[in-house]
Amino acid sequence: MKIQRAVALRVSNLLIKNNMTQYELSKRMLTDQSTIKHIIHEEYNSIKFETLLKIADAFGITIQEFLNDDLFKKDNLDY
């Protein structure tokens, strides 16, 4: 799968796990809700590392914890 898909799935899974809406996540990240929508719907060509850091921080986890998911295993990604 593409990295964009892995990020979208990870964010979606964390939203469910944390019982959080896209709106709440965007407010915690101090960004527009459209940014979250674009991430979840894979409507971007790349994502900034800074954005991943903000996402992780908004969920109260480290970037290492965000990326520590089978979605990001080398064998699962097309790059």
Q: pLDDT tens digits, residue range 3-21?
A: 999 999 999 999 999 999 9
Q: Taking 90 as the threshold, does the pLDDT of residue 45 lie above it? A: no
Dihedral of CA 68/47/38/58: which sign?
A: positive
The full DSSP string for 4-54 is HHHHHHHHHHHHHHTT--HHHHHHHHTS-HHHHHHHHTT--S---HHHHHH
Beta bridge partners of 78: 2
Question: Which residue ranges form the domains of the chain, and what is each CATH number?
Answer: 3-73 (1.10.260.40)
R_g of the chain, CA atoms, integer Å: 12
Question: What pTM was estimated for this model as a whole?
Answer: 0.93
